[in-house]
Structure 1
Amino acid sequence: MPESHDHNRLARIARWGRICVIGALLILVGVLSYAVISLVAQPDASWAYLGEEYEVSDVLGPRNSAKLWIIAGIHSLTDILGGVILWTALGLFALFGRGQVFTEETVSRLRRIGWCLFAMAPVSILGQTIAVAIFTFANEAGARRVSVGFSDTDAYAIVVGLIIVAASLAMAEALRLARENESFV
């Protein structure tokens, strides 16, 4: 039986998807490696960068390496979630490339991607709040800050993440019905 046009198109998209994901993973590893090297080699520059990133440059408070590493770890949590999404997507595109579209593994990978994407918003919001509190906790009264931020990107991550989770649940139900129908034949 000849392959369909849609199957060929899916295989092409899967190939390009794998290439893009591998490129993104390499960039992510490079950025995280650079961040770690910067933390070790240039802690003052790291303090300045993180202070600007969290908009607390004017009230950084006492500095120590443990505090710097904790804040940098909090700052990288969304990157770690992004890495999980990319790694999972790499496997998903590999499945698509082999024509394995409606499988339990596909459903599982889609669900994992959806929940990780959904989690990015609360992780980002809580991470910012905790990082700012750590930055300014030891400051004198009046120089301490608490910051809670919610951006449009957080809203998009929540909505798209839930759409992907819902689609994976619909696929799981379709797989269940297909198996049930096969048992009648």
Structure 2
Amino acid sequence: MEIETPSSSASPPRSPVLAHRLRRLAGAVRGLALLGSLCLLVLPFWIIGGSADSAEPLQGLYGGHVVGLAQAGLTAAVRWRLAGVTLLPVAVAVAALWQLWWLFGHYRHGDVFSERAVQRLRRFGAAMVALAVVQPLSTSLAAVAASLDNPPGQRAVVLIIGSSDYAVLMCALVFLALGRVIGEAARLAQENQEFV
């Protein structure tokens, strides 16, 4: 495996150990991205199929405060609405994992600084920014979905923005910045190589 560096399009790796570690890491990340995507795609069906007396997996998704808003309990109608609300963050998270899958596919083949790899990194960062926005929004929509059957005056809208949302946003912005910096470094290295 050759690792592409900014100074040359196909220079040999500095060490075969580094190339081997990169392949192993890329394989592990791709496996985790696939597993995460599969779990996320099953999530809406798990919500729908849950029993009325069980709040799983809703407790983990939206916390007890949202689940407790359904005064009549987690009826089939409430579960269907919550599954519908969950589709938005699931779609964004799967899109992010899809970009990560392809990014580490490039890395696995030593394609580290190419325009394709940089573009995947930027798209992953953008998807994570979207996820940081969508997560609090989906919690608000889940509160409406859970309390929709309540009597008038007892329906609720909840807006929760926590430290985890902030952390996701900051990490996403770091990935976006890295994508821009790596892309610019690769472009400058290509210009320098063509100049010489």
TM over 0.5: yes
Matches within 5 A, 1:48-87: 50=58, 52=64, 54-59=66-71, 65=77, 68-87=79-98
1:150 equivalent to 2:136? Answer: no
Q: Which moved more, 1:135-144 or 1:116-125?
A: 135-144
In structure 2, distance between residues paired with 1:7 and 1:100: 11
1:183 equivalent to 2:179? Answer: no
Offset at 1:43?
7.1
Structure number with the higher helix fraction is 1
Contact kept? 1:110, 1:168, Cα under 8 Å: yes
Q: Give the match's secondary structure for 1:99.
A: coil
Offset at 1:44?
4.1
In structure 2, distance between residues paired with 1:97 and 1:58: 47
TM-score of the superposed pair, with normalisation by structure 1: 0.79
Tell me which of 106, 116, 126 is aligned to 1:95. Answer: 106
Which residue number corresponds to residue 36 of structure 1? 45
Percent identity of equivalent pairs: 30
Cα deviation per residue 1:86-130 (whole Å; 9 max; x = unaligned)? 221111111111110001111111111111112222211111112
In structure 2, distance between residues paired with 1:174 and 1:2: 19
Instruction: Name the count of aligned residue pairs.
Output: 179
Q: Which amino acid is the alignment partner of residue 54 of structure 1?
A: V
Matches within 5 A, 1:94-113: 94-113=105-124
Offset at 1:53?
6.7
Offset at 1:80?
2.2
TM-score of the superposed pair, with normalisation by structure 2: 0.75
Offset at 1:28?
3.2
Q: Which amino acid is the alignment partner of residue 14 of structure 2?
A: S
Structure 2 residue runs without a partner (length 5+): 1-10
Structure 1 residue runs without a partner (length 5+): none
1:20 equivalent to 2:59? Answer: no
Q: Which moved more, 1:49-58 or 1:175-184?
A: 49-58
In structure 2, distance between residues paired with 1:126 and 1:95: 33
Which residue number corresponds to residue 4 of structure 2? none
